[in-house]
Structure 1
Amino acid sequence: MGNIRNEIGVFYMNQAAALQSERVVSKSVSTAEQQLWKKSFSCFEKGIHNFESIDDATNAALLLCNTGRLMRICAQAHCGAGDEFKREFSPEEGLYYNKAVDYYLKALRSLGTRDIHPAVWDSVNWELSTTYFTMATLQQDYAPLSRKAQEQIEKEVSEAMMKSLKHCDVDAVSARQPLCQYRAATIHHRLASMYHSCLRNQVGDEHLRKQHRVLADLHYSKAAKLFQLLKDAPCELLRVQLERVAFAEFQMTSQNSNVGKLKTLSGALDTMVRTKHAFQLIGRELAGEPGQPESAEAPPAADPSPSLNQEEVMKLLSIFESRLSFLLLQSVKLLSSTKKKTSNNIEDDVALKSNKQIYSQLLRATANKNASLSERIDVLTHLLDQLARGGGGPVP
């Protein structure tokens, strides 16, 4: 009976989802959808009791998981169509997503431990992670500012993201591992961006500013490391590194000493150098090569994101060239200023000469408006090599 009720419950649930997908303009949930939810829920509930009565924990967990999925469909139905700019994460969405979380947690408790049925455990764990992630993402993108304070929203987003991470095993070798790594990287990126934004908009409370600065730096670093493991997420890696550079530039605005600014600049240029991996991946894809991992630390992974978007690459490349040019120019200015005030420092002299050469070559390269995307990437890769070595050389 449990299996039959599960099949009928899934049938009603799929019908409700189909009705929802057809409801494009209407903001309200139809009576037909609500009736299908009730029928589906009733079947799942009775099926769970059937399996629990015969101590079949695995099948009970599967039905609890399906009930969680039903709650997510209910949440999606309450998202509210209409003006995207005015949209806010609604209380109804929160209610149903939290109900979904409860059912997934019940499913895990029903299983007890992963040893009983690893495949089912991993599936439930992934769905639970997905629910937390979806809830956090919606709250971040459609912040309910009419109902909650910004600080409260940020706290809830952070908590949900961290719970999603907890149930997202990036180390377990499986077909789902690349997806787990991609999600974990995305979570760290979103948290870093949130703390970065908090820091920009915050005035006073130096302790909180320091806390947000540390958290932004930590999550940017973790996001970059995880995106580097994926051979098919170069644009995501580039975005993270460019945000890290913007974060460094923002920190420079509050620094007074040249020594402090040079240290921050050096870190930002080092971040630029570490984007070489992303450009190599983009270059290989543009050339139509399959792309081989460079080391054991970067294993091949399934592509969790769409194929390369050349328009996006062009946009990111232009931003990268602009920021690299700015950082090199600031470095040259600060090193020149420091040189005038202090006695000869061989290390600074070498850095000044090198950065001047690279800056000059970058200006000439970006002035060439006829260069193809592949040629621009080749030039940048070469310049990043020079920057890593700290020495000049002709651009190919």
Structure 2
Amino acid sequence: MNGRLLLCCKCYAVAIERAESMTTDSKCESILSLKKKYGETLDKLGKWYMKEAQSCLQKAGERFPKEEFQEFESFYKESLSCFESGMSKFKSVDDKAGNAKVMLNIGRLHCLKAKELCSRTARNEFSKDERFFFEQAIICFKKAFKILKQGKSFEEILELINFNIAETYFEMYKQLQDHPPLSACAQEEV
């Protein structure tokens, strides 16, 4: 699947380049359509890499061997790169739903990174890095929500965003409760 999606991305890039060279109209319907499809393909590719990263995390279980960490990190970076490229395509055609979905997926990816850090680090205390990635996920979810909050036709995506926000807060607070950072703050502050 990965190979086909990469090939699709190359084809869309070439098609957009050729179409843009044939017209000076940047709002040409066929170019806008190609950019949107390119963004959708980049989003799918990003999800594929994210799924592979999640697979590494599940394979590793409680112990996170160095090889699994390197593989996870590689998939994480590829996924993030695809999502960021997809977002730029959606922004270029002013596709709010596409942009919000990619932002939602970036948030999910940050959550996955936080969980990877939770499984990899010594589980004495909740780390600053874990907190950082959980907070980045929440920021992404809120940005996605903000993109769509005025549209009634986006209720399904908004529900998904709200669910992910709640799930992320739950996971972060569970980790804080199970592994309080007592060397950084008092028990009452946790």
Q: TM-score, normalised by structure 1?
A: 0.36
CA distance in 1, matches of 2:129, 2:114: 7
Runs (4+) off by over 4 Å = none
* 1:318-351 deviation per Cα after TM superposition (whole angstroms, max 9, x unaligned): xxxxxxxxxxxxxxxxxxxxxxxxxxxxxxxxxx
How big is the shift at 1:141?
2.0
Identify if the C-alpha distance between structure 1 residues 105 and 149 changes in structure 2 by more than 3 Å, giving closer, same or farther.
Answer: same
Which structure features the higher share of helix residues?
2
Counterpart in 2 of 1:65? 104
* 1:266-298 deviation per Cα after TM superposition (whole angstroms, max 9, x unaligned): xxxxxxxxxxxxxxxxxxxxxxxxxxxxxxxxx
Which AA in structure 2 matches 1:59? G
Identify if the C-alpha distance between structure 1 residues 50 and 20 changes in structure 2 by more than 3 Å, giving closer, same or farther.
Answer: same
* 1:302-330 deviation per Cα after TM superposition (whole angstroms, max 9, x unaligned): xxxxxxxxxxxxxxxxxxxxxxxxxxxxx
How big is the shift at 1:118?
0.7
Runs of 5+ consecutive residues of structure 1 not aligned to the other structure: 154-396
* 1:227-275 deviation per Cα after TM superposition (whole angstroms, max 9, x unaligned): xxxxxxxxxxxxxxxxxxxxxxxxxxxxxxxxxxxxxxxxxxxxxxxxx
Counterpart in 2 of 1:26? 64
What's the C-alpha RMSD, in Å, of the aligned pairs? 1.8
Which AA in structure 2 matches 1:91? K
- Report the 3-state secondary structure (helix = DSSP H, G, I; strand = E; otherwise coil) of the residue aligned with 1:30: helix
Which AA in structure 2 matches 1:104? F
Counterpart in 2 of 1:107? 144
1:1-396 alignment to 2 at 5 Å?
A: 1-24=38-61, 25-26=63-64, 30-80=69-119, 87-113=124-150, 115-153=152-190
Q: Give the conservation status (yes or no) of the 8 Å contact 2:126–2:175.
A: yes
- Report the 3-state secondary structure (helix = DSSP H, G, I; strand = E; otherwise coil) of the residue aligned with 1:122: helix
Q: Give the conservation status (yes or no) of the 8 Å contact 1:114–1:121.
A: no
Which AA in structure 2 matches 1:37? Y
Q: Give the conservation status (yes or no) of the 8 Å contact 1:80–1:87.
A: no
CA distance in 2, matches of 1:67, 1:35: 15
- Report the 3-state secondary structure (helix = DSSP H, G, I; strand = E; otherwise coil) of the residue aligned with 2:104: helix
How big is the shift at 1:119?
0.7
Matched residue count: 151
Identify if the C-alpha distance between structure 1 residues 100 and 111 changes in structure 2 by more than 3 Å, giving closer, same or farther.
Answer: same
Counterpart in 1 of 2:27? none
How big is the shift at 1:87?
3.0
Which AA in structure 1 matches 2:129? E
Larger Rg: 1
